[in-house]
Amino acid sequence: MIELIIENLDDMDKLAHTITTCYKPGMIICLDGDLGAGKTTLTQFIGKHLKIEDYITSPTFNIIKEYTDNMEFYHMDAYRLENSDDAYDLDIDRYIYSDGLFIIEWADRIRDILPDYSVYINIVFNIEDSMRKLSISGKGKYYDCLLEELKNNENFRN
Ligand SMILES: Nc1ncnc2c1ncn2[C@@H]1O[C@H](COP(=O)(O)OP(=O)(O)O)[C@@H](O)[C@H]1O
Ligand SMILES: [Mg+2]
């Protein structure tokens, strides 16, 4: 597990950049943390570094949003799902086994159906100083890449 302190939006942007250096088609990023933790913000920064030109907005009401102009970029908010059966109704395998990037907010809701090579990022938000504590976990090539990239990265303290 990797633990990081994200002090501000600039740190979040830098982390997003580091994440995109580990991007390869098929990558899945799972974001958990309370409302306002920064899940959508992190997704927006990741999109920016992957040159997604459309403005990425929270998919709470659409549940899954697709951005496919220059790559397959899928953004899901599982908040309103009861369980993984609801996800199958959305044809979720299409996104899980895509040739792009699949980012899921509130991924804990459907964790049982996500591949073990998914990268899990949990954000704990301290409302008083607006600092975020991030825990990143997972296994497989995407997580291993992040572990390597973040280990020697001066931008983050932990
Ligand atoms: N690292 C950060 N530092 C300061 N403000 C942040 C940070 N991350 C997110 N925010 C702000 O917190 C608010 C809520 O973030 P959002 O990404 O919508 O949270 P979530 O998707 O987890 O509900 C936004 O106004 C955003 O600008
Ligand atoms: Mg959100």
Task: Name residues contacting ligand 1 (CB within 6 A).
Answer: 6, 8-9, 12, 33, 35-41, 105, 130, 132
* Backbone φ and ψ of 8, nearest 5°: -160, 180
Domain residues for 11? Answer: 2-116+130-148
Mean pLDDT of the chain: 95
CB count in 10 Å sphere of residue 8: 10
Classify residue 94: in a domain, yes or no: yes
Classify residue 124: in a domain, yes or no: no
At residue 21, the 3 state secondary structure works out as helix
Chain centroid to CA 42: 7
Classify residue 121: in a domain, yes or no: no
Ligand found nearest the CA of 78: 2
Cα 103 to ligand 2 centroid, rounded to whole Å:
11
Please write the tens of the pLDDT for every residue from 34-80. Answer: 999 999 999 999 999 999 999 999 988 889 999 999 999 999 999 99
* Backbone φ and ψ of 13, nearest 5°: -65, -45
pLDDT exceeds cutoff 90 at 154: no
Nearest CA to ligand 1 atom 9: 38
Q: What is the CATH number of the domain that holds 103?
A: 3.40.50.300
Residue among 10, 41, 134 whose CB has most ligand 1 atoms within 8 A, to mutate: 41
Classify residue 157: in a domain, yes or no: no
Please write the tens of the pLDDT for every residue from 3-38. Answer: 999 999 999 999 999 999 999 999 999 999 999 999
pLDDT for residue 157: 64
Classify residue 98: in a domain, yes or no: yes
Classify residue 21: in a domain, yes or no: yes
pLDDT for residue 50: 98
Cα 39 to ligand 1 centroid, rounded to whole Å:
7
Q: What is the dihedral sign for C-alpha 47, 89, 86, 92?
A: negative
Calpha distance 78→129 (Å, rounded)? 28
Assign 139 a pLDDT band (cuts: 50, 70, 90). Answer: very high
pLDDT for residue 112: 95
pLDDT for residue 104: 98
Which ligand 1 atom sits nearest the alpha carbon of residue 11? 1
Contact, 142 vs 119, CB < 8 A?
A: yes
- Domain count within the chain: 1
Classify residue 154: in a domain, yes or no: no
According to DSSP, the residues that pair with 32 across neighbouring strands are: 122
